[in-house]
């Protein structure tokens, strides 16, 4: 029974990270699903994998992995702060606070604060 949580269904060691290899792996994975397909598939931002998910599981929603999003955000924050680790951590903390908002009005307030606080670093 689905409970709105993500979980791993398989791991696959591939010889290459090319779209055709991802297609092969996902076709094999799809063969295990008989009557119910996944409602969502979460991956890293690997373009070949994203394309393969769209081809093999067009009914499923594709989502990017939260950890990989956080890593990309921190990397961009570090780049725009001259490499300040404290700044990167602070920005990611505020980002996580914003995206954890359950109400759109709260999200908007946190987002406006981030725009104000971090505009000087050209992150917005």
Considering only residues 120 and 9, tell me which one the structure prediction assigns the higher pLDDT. Answer: 9
Task: Report the pLDDT averaged over residues 88-92.
Answer: 83
pLDDT at site 2:
47
| C-beta of residue 73 within 8 angstroms of C-beta of residue 91 | yes
Q: What pLDDT does 50 receive? A: 96
Helix/strand/coil (H, E, C) string of 65-119? CHHHHHHHHHHHHHHHCCCCHHHHHHHHHHHHHHHCCCCHHHHHHHHHHHHHHHH
What would the mean pLDDT of 89-113 be, rounded to a whole number?
90
Average pLDDT, stretch 87-114?
89
Structure tokens at 97: 């606070």
Kindly report, residue by residue over 33-78, the tens digit of the pLDDT. Answer: 988 899 999 998 899 999 999 999 999 999 998 888 888 888 888 8
The chain-wide mean pLDDT, for the chain, equals 87
Give the DSSP H/E element, type plus range, for residue 42: strand 40-43
* pLDDT band at residue 121 using 50, 70 and 90 as cut-offs: low
């Amino acid at each position: 029974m689905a409970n709105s949580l993500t979980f791993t269904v398989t791991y696959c060691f591939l010889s290459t990270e090319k779209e055709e290899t991802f297609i092969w792996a996902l076709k094999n994975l799809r063969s295990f699903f008989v009557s119910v397909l996944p409602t969502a598939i979460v991956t890293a931002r690997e373009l070949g994998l994203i394309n393969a998910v769209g081809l093999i599981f067009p009914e499923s929603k594709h989502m990017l992995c939260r950890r990989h999003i956080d890593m990309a955000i921190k990397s961009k924050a570090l780049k725009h702060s001259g490499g300040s680790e404290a700044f990167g951590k602070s920005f990611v903390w505020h980002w996580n606070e914003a995206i954890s908002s359950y109400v759109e009005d709260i999200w908007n307030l946190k987002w406006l604060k981030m725009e104000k606080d971090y505009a000087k670093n050209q992150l917005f």
